[in-house]
Amino acid sequence: MEIADAFFAVFDEHDRLVLANRHYREVFFVGPDEYPDWPTLMRRNFHARRGTVISSPDFELWLKGTLSRRGKVPFRAFETDVHDGRWLWMTETVDEDGWMMCLANDITELRTQGRSLRQERDLALRTSLTDDLTGIANRRFVMERLSEMMTRAGGSPQTPTGCFAILDVDNFKQINDRFGHSVGDQLLIDFAQKISASVRRTDCFGRLGGEEFGLVLPRMTPLAAMGVVEAMLREVSTHRPLPMHPEFRYSFSAGIAPAICDEDQSELYARADAALYTAKRTGKHKVCLAD
């Protein structure tokens, strides 16, 4: 297949289209002078029943889960269908700054046998990496991204390996006891959405379990990580997530640990968890950095 026949696009670190050839614009219905962000592009095509075929009945939940995984690995390849009947082989390559290059080729006429089986396989894989309640990445996906960050070359003051943070919703048991588990679930969904909107393309945010969430921050210094998570804390603490209880506010505590060269992943996790425990023990609604 000639490169001239490929579908080609580049998205910046904010997932906004910055470059696309004619083939890409035609198949995904992007005007010649349009440069939308990827979520807007997918949303409008879904409602118009064009572009990528999305089988999920809840588009926003699908989008939330997809965004929590999109661009978090340096390279991936996958198959996708479009509404005009074509079948595309797509690749995504992401650089260290979060810019993504997308390439696709039309493989409609190739290897049609087993197509539905591969679609079912891809759906099962996405499901295995998604948290059922919040729709964002799950513990397995977060820990894989953490492992990838730690296997990179040892950092330096100029190019740090990165940091790992554990975020825990404060007083969650009391919230469940007061309002009921359905409201508790709604709060976790709201928290996941709020934090997800603040992470970089190169970061990875997902639910570890219960009211605990993990945040992988590649190539970020401890000081910068503190600033990022403290900004998230301020944003959440001013939010009113329950329309039926307009006076209700909530907060979270967080522990951050910088990755150390040759350290085991479990040791990094334990240091972040210990920092979280310090934040909880000393008053909650705060961010603590591991020793």
Q: Catalytic residues, which ones?
A: 211
Identity of residue 109: E
Please choose, from the candidates 192, 193, 187, 195, the residue with its C-alpha nearest in 3D space to the C-alpha of residue 242: 187
Q: In what order do the strands lie in the sheet with 100-106?
A: 17-20, 7-11, 100-106, 87-94, 75-81
| Alpha carbon distance 93, 86 (integer Å) | 22
CA atoms within 13 A on the CB side of 232: 28
Helix (H, G, I), strand (E, B) or coil at 6: coil
User: CA triplet 191, 63, 196: central angle to 5 degrees?
Assistant: 30
| Alpha carbon distance 193, 32 (integer Å) | 32
Contact partners, residue 150, CB within 8 Å, separation at least 6: 161, 259, 263, 265, 268
| Alpha carbon distance 68, 199 (integer Å) | 9
Phi/psi of residue 102, nearest 5 degrees: -110, 130
Helix (H, G, I), strand (E, B) or coil at 7: strand
Specify the pairing of strand 287-289 against strand 252-258: parallel
